[in-house]
Amino acid sequence: MVATDGRAETDLMRAVGAGDAAAFERLVARFQGPVISFLFRYAGDRATAEDLAQETFLNVWRAARRFDPDGGAKPSTWIFTIAYRLAMSELKRRRRFAEFRERASREATKNPAGPQAPGSVPDDEAIHRVLANLPENQRAAMLLRVREEMSYRDIAEVLGVSVSAVESLIFRARTRLRRELAEHIERTGP
């Protein structure tokens, strides 16, 4: 989850907007983990996540002058909006969901946390696969809510939908996750 030191982040964004490259590097260092993790779980594979993260931050650099904290903008919401839009465009452009699922599955087997403890079901790979099978907007809403602990309002801003739509997306994501993971456990056994 992104640190919630909103004022420091806003100051950092202002400095980036003024062209301070050192501040930009600090901003990237601060958000790189959450952004890459979000993109990995959203887009399905690590290489794409890293490319998209790089593009996200370069877009932040290019557009930082337009960031308007006085208008209520939060750096984290702003950065995740850019990341989400880039990732969405990428998935849309490629139209390769079959390949995405295959790659997601392959990537999940290279578990960054290392091997799962015996008997721990469902494991990282299974959850990653089930997430990959969720509709994209449900997946994004769920990741932003649970892993980034964003409010419905911030998620609505990132996804460009209404607050009630966010509530509905998250509800459907949770319901489907539980159902599919229960099916997975049934198939694979304890």
Partner 1 sequence: MTSHDPCDFSGDLPAYHDNELDARTRERLERHLPGCAACRRTLAGFAEADALVAGLADAPVPDGFAASVAALARREAESIGRAGTCGELASPLSRENSGDLSKGDFGDFYRECPEAGMLAFFERFFRLIIEFSSKNRSGRAYRGGHLDAFADCPPDGLSGAYLRLVSMGPARFAREGSES
Binding site for partner 1 (CB under 8 A): 18-22, 24-26, 28-29, 32-33, 36-37, 39-41, 46, 49-50, 53-54, 57-58, 61-66, 89, 92-93, 111-113, 122, 124, 127-128, 131, 142-143, 145-147, 151-152, 160-161, 167, 170-171, 173-175, 177-178, 181
Place of tokens 């806003």: 10
As to burial, measured by CB atoms within 10 angstroms (0-12 exposed, 13-18 middle, 19+ buried), residue 184 is: middle
CB 44 to partner 1: min, Å: 11
Which residue type, as a one-letter code, is found at position 144? Answer: L
DSSP state of 147: T
DSSP assignment letter at 121: -
Nearer to partner 1 by C-beta: 5 or 149? 149
Closest CB to partner 1 among 7 and 62? 62
5 versus 164: smaller Cβ distance to partner 1: 164
Size of the chain, expressed as the number of residues it contains:
190
On whether the CB atoms of residues 172 and 138 are closer than 8 A, the answer is: yes
Which residue, 101 or 174, is less far from partner 1 as judged by CB? 174
